[in-house]
Structure 1
Amino acid sequence: MNEFSPAAPMTKAATPGGRDSLDDFMEAFEGFREANDERLGAIEKRMSADVLTEEKVDRIGRALDEQERRMERLALKQLRPPLAGNEGGGRALPSERKQAFERYVRAGDERELRRLEEKAMSSLTGADGGFLVPDETETEIGRRLAAISPIRSIASVRTVSAAVLKKPFAITGAQTGWVGETEARPQTTAPLLAELSFPTMELYAMPAATNALLDDAAVDIDRWIGEEVEQAFAAQESAAFVTGDGVNKPAGFMTVPTVDEAAWAWGSVGTIASGMNGGFAPDTAADVLIDLVHALKAGYRQNASFVMNRRTQAALRKIKDADGNYLWQPPSSVGARATLMGFPMVEAEDMPDMAAGSKAIAFGDFARFYLIVDRQGVRVLRDPYSAKPYVLFYTTKRVGGGVQDFDAAKFLEFSA
C-alpha cells in the first residue's frame, strides 16, 4: 500500500477515442514493465543488461511518451468550442464588441471598435496600439494556455489591471502569547513587512491569414486566433516561468538561489542531494525521493506535484521500490496525469537534464510556490501591408511571474 495520497484525477468526459487511447497506453505500459523487468533480471544475473533488451525498453518508453502526448491532445480537443451549426442548439449571439472586432479582423473596419473604446475611455485605442480583443476571445486564449502550458496549469494565476503587482509579506509575523482570562495583555510588536514585486512583460505572436480565410463566414475568429497564438504564447511563457532571467520576461523559479535544505532561509529554495553526481546511487532512488517528498511541510505536500522534463521522467519510469513496485504509474483516466509515488507528474521541457550538479526535479505546491500575473487585456493590430498578400495580426499580452513562497517547493540536486 502506497503511503502517499493518490493524485486527484482531472474530471473530464471521456470520448470513445480517449478510451481507446487510454487502453493503448495501458497496453504499452504493460509491455514496458515486462521488458524492463527482463532488463533488471539480466543485470542481476550478469551485472549488465542485454543490448537488445535495453533498446526494447527505450523503444517502448518512446512509444509511451507519444501515447501520453496523444491523450493530452485529445483532452485539449475536448476544450475547443463547437463551430456554429453543430449539435447543441447553436451558440449565444455575439456581443456588440465581438461583432465590431470581427469586422476589424475580417475587413479592417475599425470605426465601430474605435467608437466603443472611446466610449469606454480606453487608453489602448488606435491603429498604432491595436485594439483590445473581446472578453470571449481573451477567455478562449487564457483557457487554451492553461490547458497546454505546464507551469500555468499548476501555478497561481492572478489578473491585474496595472503594469506591476506588489505583494506584501510578513518577515517575522505578529507577536503572540498566552494569557489568563483576567490578566493584562501586554502590547505586542508590529509585524515586519517586506514586498515582492511582479512586473508584467510583453509577449507577442504574429499569426498570418489569407483574405480567403478572412472572407469565410464559417470560420470562428475567436477559435482561429486562439489556435494560432496558443503554441507561440505557451512555448515562450513556459520557458520563462522555468528559466527566465527577469529581463523583459518573467523570473523563472529555476533561477532562484538554492541552498542545502538543512541551511534553508527565506529567499532561497532548499535542495536534497541524490547521493551521486549525475544520478542516483545504486538502490537508493526510492529513498532519495522519499526524502525529497518529506522535506516539504505537510501543508504544502497535500497539493504537491513533481516537475521534470521527459528525459528525467523516462529514467524514473524504470525505477522500483524495495517491494518491486514501479514508482511511476500511468494516468488513471483520459485527462489525468501520470503519478510518481502517488503525486502528479508535470512534464516541463525547459527543466534541466539529469547531470552532475543539476537540479532536474522540482517537488512542491506550485499554486503557493509560483505566481503568474496576467495584465488584463489582449491586443491585436491588423497589418495588411508588411507581408502582402497575407494579413498579419500582431497579438500581444502582458504577463509576469515569480516565486511567491520560497518554502513551498524543494529541488532534487544530482550531486554526492
Structure 2
Amino acid sequence: MTQSTPAPETKSALPYDVKGAFDDFMTSFEAFKDANDQRLGELETRMSGDVLATEKVDRISKALDDNKRKLDELLLRKARPALGGGYTAPSEHKAAFEAYVRSGDDRAMRALDTKAMSFGSGSDGGYLVPNETETQIAKRLGALSPIRSIASVRQVSTALLKKPFALTGPATGWVGETAARPQTGSPTLAELEFPTAELYAMPSATQALLEDSAVDLDSWLTDEIEMAFAEQEGTAFVTGNGVNKPKGFLASDKVADASWSWGSLGYLATGAAGAFAASNPADKLVDLVYALKAGYRENGSFVMNRKTQAAVRKMKDGDGNYLWQPPATVGAKAMLMGFPVVEAEDMPDIGTDAFAVAFGDFTRGYLVVDRTGVRILRDPYSAKPYVLFYVTKRVGGGVQDFSAIKLLKFGTA
C-alpha cells in the first residue's frame, strides 16, 4: 500500500489551530512550574541541586519557548491575508503600479509622474508603491518588529528629523495674588537628530506568478519583504551604530544610574559577573523597575531575548509566586512583575558585563522615523527566468528621552 504524500501546509490549513497551540503552551508552563518547584525544594533540603532535576527544568523550559515560538508563528500566519484576496476597486495609482509589477509596463506610472510629479523617478530609479500597499507594509512591520511595536513612530518627508529639547526649563516661582510677576528666564534648547537610512529587500517571482490575475500582488509583496525588513530593523533598533542605519538604544553611552545625566542611559549592576546575584536574584529586577520615575514606570516594558527570559522564568517572590506569568490570552504578552515582556532576539545573552535586560517606557524613550514612500524597481534581466524586485524604504531611529529607559548590567559595577 502506497503511503500518500501529505498535503503542503497552507494558510487555511495549519497543522493545528491557534487555540490548540495556546493550550499546549499553558500545559508546558504548568509542567515547568511543577518541575522547578521540585528543583527548588531539593535545593532547600539538600543544599545542592539534583542534576537530573535541573536538566528536566531546562528541558521543559526549552519546550515552553518552542511552544511560544510556534504560537507566535501561527498568529502571524493567521494575520496574513490570502494571496487571492477579495476584490477592491483599485485607485489610479494602484492600477498603474500593478501593470508595472506584472508586466513591466510603466507607461501609466510615467503618466502619473508627469501629472502629479510625486510617484517616482522613472524606471531607472523605480516607482513608489501605492499608499494602500505602504500602509499594509507599515502595519505588518509594527506587528513583527519588537522595538517598533512599543516605540513612537513618526513619518517624515525629509531625510533628517531634528527634534529640539530643553536642557533647562523656564524659571518659575510663587507669587501673591497682586504681586508683580518678574520676567522668567528663557529655556536653553538643543537638538536631537534622527537621519534616515536606506533599508532594502530583493524578493523574486516567476513570470507565471505575476501573470496569475488571482494573486493579490500587494499581499505577495508585503509577505515577501516583511521578514527581511523586520529582522534588519530589529537589530538596528537595539544595537545599530547609527552609520547608514538607525542608532540602537544599546549603542547609547551608558553610566551607573547613580551618576546618570542626560545623553546617556543609566544602568544597575546585578553584583555578579555574568549572572544574577546568588541570593535574592529578583531584587535587582525590582530595583530596575523603581529606577524609573513614576511617570515612565506606569507604561514600562521589559525587553530581553528568550534565553534571558528562560532564566527569569525560574524566579519567585517572597511568597512563593512566580514573577513571570504567561500571556493571559492568545496574542497577549507574557508579564514580569505586572509589566509586559517584549522578546527582542537581538538583545545580548546573559554574560559578563552584558546589558541583557532593559526596562522603560519605550513610547517616550525611543523614536522610529519612517520617511514616507516605499520604492520598488523591477528587474527582469539579472536572474532570468526570475523577476527581481528591488524594494527600498528609508528608516531612522534613536533614543529621544534618556530618562525613559534603564538597563540591567550583568556585572559587579
Scaled by the length of structure 2, the TM-score of the pair is 0.93
Are 1:400 and 2:396 counterparts?
Answer: yes
| 1:26 pairs with 2:22 | no
Q: CA deviation at 1:348?
A: 0.7
Distance 1:144 1:274 in 2: 36
Structure 1 match to 2:184: 188
Q: Within 1, Cα distance between the matches of 2:159 and 2:102?
A: 30
Distance of 1:141 and 1:336 partners within structure 2 = 22
Question: What's the CA shift for 1:148?
Answer: 0.8
Give 1:84 deviation, angstroms. Answer: 4.8
- Bigger shift: 354-363 or 35-44? 35-44
Equivalent position of 2:11 in the other structure? none
Of 372, 376, 398, the residue aligned with 1:376 is 372
Aligned twin of 1:75: 75
Partner residue, 1:116:
112
2:279 aligns with one of 263, 278, 283? 283
SS in 1 for 2:184: coil
Matches within 5 A, 1:3-402: 17-82=17-82, 84=84, 90-122=86-118, 124-402=120-398
Structure 2: distance between partners of 1:59 and 1:103: 53
The one-letter amino acid paired with 2:159 is A
- In 2 relative to 1, CA 83–350 (structure 1 residues): closer, same or farther, beyond 3 Å? closer
Q: Distance in 2 between matches of 1:123 and 1:94?
A: 16
Q: CA deviation at 1:91?
A: 4.3
Could you tell me how far 1:182 is from its partner in structure 2?
Answer: 1.1
Return the alpha-carbon distance in structure 1 between the equivalents of residues 385 and 93 of structure 2: 27
CA deviation digits over 1:84-132, x for unaligned, max 9? 56xxxx4431211111111111100000011112211127321111000
What CA distance in whole angstroms lies between the structure 2 residues aligned with 1:331 and 1:106?
43
Aligned match of 1:10:
none
What is the CA deviation profile of residues 39-73 of structure 1, one whole-angstrom value per residue up to 9, with x for unaligned ones?
11222233332222222212211111121122222
- Kindly indicate whether the alpha-carbon contact (under 8 Å) linking 2:83 and 2:220 is maintained by their aligned counterparts in 1: no
Kept after mapping to 2: 8 A contact 1:118/1:125: no
Q: Do the aligned residues in 1 keep the contact of 2:112 with 2:119 (CA within 8 Å)?
A: no
What displacement does 1:329 show?
0.5
Residue aligning to 1:9: none
| Secondary structure, counterpart of 2:231 in structure 1 | helix
Task: Please tell me the residue identity of whatever aligns with 1:23.
Answer: D
Q: With CA pairs under 8 Å and 6+ residues apart, which has the higher RCO, 1 or 2? A: 1
SS for the counterpart of 2:384 is coil
Q: 2:194, 2:396 within 8 Å by CA — same for their partners in 1?
A: yes
Letter aligned with residue 232 of structure 1: A
Say what the alpha-carbon RMSD is for the aligned residues.
Answer: 1.4
d(CA) in 2 for partners of 1:243, 1:84? 38
- CA deviations on 1:289-309 (whole Å, 9 max, x unpaired) are 111100001100111100011
* SS of equivalent residue, structure 1 residue 77: helix
SS of the counterpart of 2:317?
Answer: coil
**Cα shift at 1:282:** 2.2
Name the aligned partner's letter for residue 21 of structure 2.
Answer: S
| Paired AA for residue 144 in structure 2 | I
Q: How far apart in 1 are the matches of 2:52 and 2:280?
A: 26
Once the two structures are aligned, what percentage of the paired residues are identical?
65
Q: For residue 46 of structure 2, what is the amino acid of its counterpart?
A: R
Equivalent residues of 2:252, 2:265 under 8 A apart: yes
Contact 2:147 2:237 survives alignment (8 Å): yes
CA distance in 2, matches of 1:122, 1:136: 16
Partner of 2:6: none
- Secondary structure of the residue that 2:295 maps to in structure 1? helix
Unaligned runs of 5+ in 1: 1-15
Cα shift at 1:247: 0.5
Answer yes or no: is the 8 Å Cα contact 2:82–2:219 preserved in 1. no
SS in 2 for 1:158: strand
State how far apart, in whole Å, the 1-side matches of 2:55 and 2:112 are.
62
The one-letter code of the counterpart of 1:157 is V
Indicate conservation of the 8 Å contact 2:266/2:406, yes or no.
yes
What is the identity, as a one-letter code, of the residue corresponding to 2:133?
T
Equivalent-residue separation in structure 2 for 1:118 and 1:371 (angstroms): 35
- Cα deviation for residue 205 of structure 1 reads 0.2
Deviates more, 1:252-261 or 1:45-54: 45-54
- 1:239 Cα deviation (Å)? 0.3
Task: Give the Cα separation in 2 of the matches to 1:150 and 1:141.
Answer: 15
Matched-pair contact (CA < 8 Å) for 2:201–2:229: yes
Kept in 1, the 8 Å contact 2:109–2:119? The answer is no
**Structure 1 Cα separation of the partners of residues 344 and 39 of structure 2:** 28
